[in-house]
A and B are shown apart, each in its own frame.
Chain A
């Protein structure tokens, strides 16, 4: 059965810290891995990764995929209170009518 596992489930840090969120997957016919940020509303898209070893970067956020070891990490440097959210990882299956397999998310709290 396809699955996506995120760790840790929750994390509390201080402003300025760097955090690393993990997403491992077991999915047949892997196509892509996506990261979303969810504050108290809808998930918003952060990154889509399809190739191993190529870092995607947006400001203080970056992400990389390892298709051999079947995982991805999301890094946030110099965290701010506005980074507090649930970060969701999802994996796309090539033959699956564009359905995504979702992880349960990592809840990040950044304290001032």
Chain B
């Protein structure tokens, strides 16, 4: 049981390049989330999904797109990377019903540097 996994672990991009971050979970969770974490800013929600085929904007969605084509996968795309997107990106997932439904389980993170 791998839990939540993220690829890649680390990436360097040049301004204007695009990339996709992949999140996968094997816990059969309905809900998935993408966060970014920056010093002094805490965890900020970028986009989230309440089920396969659905996505919604979070607190800081500009410059990012997401897709949830399969229940276990949640992709985060940067179409044209900017230095302001240098950050650590975390994916998380949670159940939809029952006790502990707010408990989010996190992946190990992707460190992204945009030059």
Contact = CB atoms under 8 A, between A and B. Distances in A.
| Co-complex (A, B) | yes
B31 interface: yes
Contact-residue bracket for chain B: 20 to 34
A103 B90 CA distance: 16
Given A48-B103, A88-B43, A99-B45, A41 B109 contact: yes
Interface in B14-58: 31, 33, 40-45, 48, 50, 56, 58
A67 to B, nearest CB: 15
B96 interface: yes
B64 interface: no
A54 interface: no
Contacts of A16: none
Given A42-B107, A42-B108, A42-B109, A100 B48 contact: no
Contacts, number: 51
Interface string A8-45: 00000000000000000000000110100000011111
A99 B106 CA distance: 14
A100 B44 CA distance: 10
A36 to B, nearest CB: 8
Contacts of A58: none
Contact of B102 (A34, A41, A43): A34
Interface string A68-112: 000000000000000000001000100001111011110000000
Given A48-B102, A98-B101, 7 more contacts: A31-B102, A34-B103, A43-B43, A45-B103, A45-B105, A99-B48, A105-B42
Interface of B: 31, 33, 40-45, 48, 50, 56, 58, 90, 94, 96, 100-109
